[in-house]
Structures are given as C-alpha cells and as structure tokens.
Structure 1
Amino acid sequence: MPVALSGATESAARGGATSSATARRWSLAEVLAAWALVGPAAFFLLILFFLPVTGVFAIALTNWQFGARSFSFVGLANFREIFADAGFRDSLLNTVFYVSIVVPGTVVLGLLIALLIESGKSCRSVYRAIHFLPFMATITAMAIAWEALLHPTIGLVNQALAAAGLPTANWLRDENTALAVLAVIGIWQNLGYAMVLFLAGLKSISRDLYDAADIDGADLALDRLRTVTLPMLGPVSMFVVIVVALRAFETFDTVKVLTQGGPGHASDVLLYTLYRESFEYLHTGYGAAVAVVFLAIVVTLTLSQARTMDRVVHYL
C-alpha cells in the first residue's frame, strides 16, 4: 500500500511538473504574442514621440541656433531667460485668456446646440453637417475668410454694424479686440466637434431615466436637464473639456495667418512665441526651452483638470 501511494505520488508530481512546464510555455507564448502585437505601436511611439521629446530637452540645454554647426552646453540658462522675459509672460497670459474664453464658450454652446438638434423633429442631419463643417474645413482657408469678414472697411461685420448704427472697429489690428476676436474664431472652430460628442452622449442616455424623473416630479425640461441629462453627460463633458482645452492651448494657425502675434504682441500665444523664436529669430535653444515649459504646463493642467472633474463625474 505504501508503495502504491508512493507511485501515485510520483505520478502526480510528474503530472504537476508537466502542467507547470506547459503553463510556463503557454505564458511565454502569450508574452511573445503580446509583444508582437504591441511592438509596432511601441516602436512608432518611441520614434515619433519619445525620441523627439528627448531631443527637445537636450536642445533646451544648449545655445544651438538653427543651421549652426557648433553649439555649447548652457544648462538652465535658457529657462532662466524665459522666466525673466516679459514677452514670454505676456504670451502665457494671452494663452490663458484665450483658453478661458474658448473652453467654456465651446462647451456651453456645443451642449446647447446638441440639445436643440436632439429635440428637433426634422433635418437633424443637415443641422449636424452645418455645425460640423468648421471643424472639417482647412483652418488657413477659414482664417482668410474671417479676415475678409473682419476687414475694417469692406468687411461684412463692420458694414452690418454701421447699418445698425453701432460703432465699428479694426478688429484684428486693435490690441483691445484682437485676442478676443481670435477666441471667438476658436469657439466657432471647435463648436462642431463638441456638438457631435454631446449628441453621441445624449443618444446613449436611456429613456427610462427620463420616465423615472417624470414619476418623481421632474416633469419640466429644466428639471430633467438638471437631474438626468447633465449628470449622465458627465464622462462626455469631461472628455470634451480636456480635448477642447488642449486644442485651445495649441492654437497657432489663426494667430499666424490673422495677426502674427500683433498688434504689439497683444495676441501673442505660447506656440507662436515658440515658432518665432525658433524659426524667425533662430534662437533654437531658447525655443526648445519654451517647448519644454509649454509641455509641462499642458501636462500639469490636463492631469489636474482630469482629476478635478473625475471627482464630480458620475460613471455607470
């Protein structure tokens, strides 16, 4: 009997060892398969993102000028120059002002238009296409169209204001209005994108929730909006705010085409400062330092924004 038990024990041990070896072989195969699937994406992420970012960090520590054959290591001198530069502070404040107008304006108007389209009975596709066209259009071409509309003498905006007896202005050449006008164009540009996302979120809300709200006494449209629609749109709203904020921070095309940062740097934003220092003044090391600071600001604000909104967002 003990011999039989001993044989059984040995057989079980061999079986366990075989199962363990098979499990290890399958685990290795799974790891190889995973790397085969992830490898191409990881390779391109390394080549297209991490290596360029590392290069920008390295250039920011030098005094290299675009096209120069030699350069010197200057450490943090470029960063000290940035924080002592009044022009950089002005472009940072202009960027914050621009974002503070574009983000809430885009989110509120995008949600309002989405609610109006969703509540309509006909021509929904037409309205969606009309509002989404600015997002699909080439920004440079649309900026030129806006420049014609805002022309101080022959522009339709000033002509309409003059016909109504209201004061006109040189909108893009007045330091008091240039940045605000660019922010309005930014809202117009991003409005269709926010609208489409909100429409998708509205369609995902179960009608049973509105029926339950009616039973509980929330029979008015404003009550349903407050108790059902807005809470259920929380995840979509968070995504829209973050994406629109990133796009607002990255604004460049309209500034380059319409104002070139003027008048008197009144519409200068961070990305245009980066471009001007790097490719117009050829201060590439300084421009790389601006890019590093810009990246740090965007990452910090995005993470803090996501964490803050995640506390008030309801997930199903």
Structure 2
Amino acid sequence: MSTLALPAEAAASTARRPARRVRQEALAAYALAAPAAIMLLGILLLPTAATVLLSFTDWQFGAATLNWIGLGNYEKLAADRVFWRSLANTLLYVAVVVPASVFLGLGVAMLIEAGGSGRTFYRAAYFLPVTATLIAMATVWEIMLHPSVGLINLAFDAVGLGKHNWLKDPALALPALAVIGIWQALGLNMVLFLAGLKSIPRDLYEAAAIDGAENWWDRFTTVTWPMLGPATLFVLVITAIRSFQVFDTVAVLTEGGPNKATDVLLYTMYQEGFGFFRAGYGASITVVFLVFVLILTLVKARVMEKRVHYA
C-alpha cells in the first residue's frame, strides 16, 4: 500500500514547489539550449531565409539598391536553357552515382567484414578519398585522364580500346565525373555499412542456418539486408545529398564544359552569382536546389521508411 502511495506523494510534492523554483528551472533549460539555438539560427535559418528573400529581388553584387521583382527570377529560370541543362546533368549524375556508390560500398564492407587479416589497411585505403582534399584529388584525376599520357588512356590503349579525351568529349565528360563521384563516395558508404554490419546480432545468422539458410545468399537476403535497413536508408539520403552538391570536380576539371555537358546546378549558381554578379538570380537557383534536396529526402524517407526494420 505504501508503495502505491509514493507516486501520489511525489505528485503532490511537485505541485507544492514554489513558482519561483519552476521559473528558475525553465530559465536554466533555456540558457543551456541557447548556444545551440543561436548557432542553428545564425548558421542555418537566417542565411536560408536571406537567400529566399534575395531570390525575389534583382540585386547584383556591388549595387547600392535593389528592387523587389517577385517571381521574376523564377520566370527567367523557366525559360533559361542553361538552367534546364544543368538540372538534367545534375539529375543524371545523381542517378548514376547514388546506386553505384551505395551497392559498391555495401559490397566492399561485406568483403572487409568477412575477411581475415588486413581489415584495418583496407578500411583506411577505401576511406582515403573521404579524408583527402577533393581539389587535390581532382588534379590527380586530371593527370590520370590526360588524353595522351594519362594512366587510364594507357591502360585502355594496352587492351586495344584506344585513347579517349575524357574531359573534352561531351559524351564522356559527365560519365567521367560520375566515376570520380563514385570513387569519392565509396569510402564513406563502406564505413557506414561496416557499422551497420557490426550491429547485427550473430545469433540471427545461427537461427537462419537452423532454418535452412546455408549459403551466403540466403543469409544475406534473410538476415543481412533486412537488418541493414536503417543504415541503407541513411546512406541513400546522405549520398543523394552529397551527389546533388557536386561542384569541386566540375570547377577544377571541366568548368561546365565541353558545351555545357557537365554544367550542374551548383556550378551554374556559382557562375551567375560570382561570375556574372547576378546575386538575385543565383539565389533563385539556390532555392531550387534546396527544394530538390528537400523533396528527395522526404520521398526517400517516406517510401523506404515503410520497408525499414528497426531492431
């Protein structure tokens, strides 16, 4: 009986606390949350709001005044062939890089997890592109893709496939950048999948073996893949967002060429804002980019969340 009375006594004690004590606790909570809230406001929310507002103006860098033009910038976007070309290139890049880097990252993670010695070396080797400076790595790729002395062309020529001008051919430039994007994303995806693989209970594989899952494919389809649902969802969203943000390799290797074959959204925004100084027009491209990323994230979360198993 005394045990059941304890919750009631605690509730009564809480109700009798002075209002001053409650206010002090609330102020302490607000004070603890204030640094994170200020950073969120200053780093994310205010710049985003400023960009959205700027997209409704005709302001140019260096101009003393600006005019509110409403949807004028977005009407220009709708009729801008360069914008539509960059959007198509971005979507194609994402469509190639995301599935390839996700499945390759999963495959490498499973090979490393199943291997014996040398796991640390392989993890470090595959993760190196993530830690390296992308501009420096892009320069290395530029040398490797050189039309006459590049290692890739020398290898192709050695097996009878001939040499190609990878970065100057409109049909090959974007696929070449996509290969670099896959190479860059592979290491991070591998590490994330390794974490997911280590979190799978070993007894599930024993139970699957008792139920008749004797080969690796049966174990993968009945245990590994379903249990990797949360990790796969996270990897897909992160990889898609990072792929939409492709900029460095385009700026260093192709500058959007040849003939706009590798022009992507962020590079178009950079050119409009910092090359042609049309800040308002560049802001409208940024808003379109943010909307695409938001829609992509929501769609992936809504569609795949129903198929994800959380242990």
1:301 offset after TM fit, Å? 1.1
Task: Note if 1:232 corresponds to 2:227.
Answer: yes
1:219 to 196, 214, 226: 214
1:49-80 CA-partner distances (Å, limit 9, x unpaired): 11111111121111111111122111110011
1:84 offset after TM fit, Å? 1.3
Matching residue of 1:28: 23
Superposed, 1:131-210 pairs within 5 Å as 131-210=126-205
Matching residue of 1:109: 104
User: Structure 1 regions of 5+ residues with no counterpart?
Assistant: 1-15
1:145 and 1:18 mapped to 2: Cα distance? Answer: 69
The alignment partner of 2:17 has SS state of helix
1:80-110 CA-partner distances (Å, limit 9, x unpaired): 1111111111111100000001100110000
Superposed, 1:39-188 pairs within 5 Å as 39-188=34-183
1:149 offset after TM fit, Å? 0.1
1:158 and 1:37 mapped to 2: Cα distance? Answer: 58
Identity %: 53
1:101 and 1:24 mapped to 2: Cα distance? Answer: 60
RMSD (CA atoms): 1.4
Task: Note if 1:277 corresponds to 2:272.
Answer: yes
Q: Report the AA paired with residue 279 of structure 2.
A: T
When residues 262 and 124 of structure 1 are mapped into structure 2, their CA distance, relative to the original with a 3 A threshold, is same
Matching residue of 1:13: none
1:145-203 CA-partner distances (Å, limit 9, x unpaired): 00000000110111111111112210011100111110110010010000001011111
Q: Which aligned runs of 4 or more in structure 1 are off by greater than 4 angstroms?
A: 16-19, 23-26
2:246 to 208, 226, 251: 251
Q: Report the AA paired with residue 192 of structure 1.
A: G
Matching residue of 2:300: 305
2:224 and 2:14 mapped to 1: Cα distance? Answer: 53
Q: Report the AA paired with residue 170 of structure 1.
A: N
2:142 and 2:296 mapped to 1: Cα distance? Answer: 32
The alignment partner of 1:282 has SS state of coil
1:24 offset after TM fit, Å? 4.4
1:286 and 1:56 mapped to 2: Cα distance? Answer: 10
Q: Report the AA paired with residue 149 of structure 1.
A: M
2:186 and 2:19 mapped to 1: Cα distance? Answer: 53
Q: Report the AA paired with residue 58 of structure 1.
A: L
Q: Report the AA paired with residue 167 of structure 1.
A: G
Matching residue of 1:12: none
User: Structure 2 regions of 5+ residues with no counterpart?
Assistant: 1-10
When residues 159 and 231 of structure 1 are mapped into structure 2, their CA distance, relative to the original with a 3 A threshold, is same
The alignment partner of 1:65 has SS state of coil
Matching residue of 2:4: none
1:83 and 1:205 mapped to 2: Cα distance? Answer: 48
Larger radius of gyration: 1
2:256 and 2:207 mapped to 1: Cα distance? Answer: 53
Task: Name the TM-score, length of structure 2 as normaliser.
Answer: 0.94
1:28 offset after TM fit, Å? 2.9
The alignment partner of 2:260 has SS state of coil
1:306 and 1:59 mapped to 2: Cα distance? Answer: 30
Question: Does the 8 Å contact 2:256/2:267 carry over to 1?
Answer: yes
1:99-128 CA-partner distances (Å, limit 9, x unpaired): 001100110000000000000010100000
The alignment partner of 1:92 has SS state of helix
2:18 and 2:303 mapped to 1: Cα distance? Answer: 43
1:196 and 1:309 mapped to 2: Cα distance? Answer: 21
1:256-285 CA-partner distances (Å, limit 9, x unpaired): 000000001100100001000001011111
2:176 and 2:18 mapped to 1: Cα distance? Answer: 64
Counting matched residue pairs gives: 301
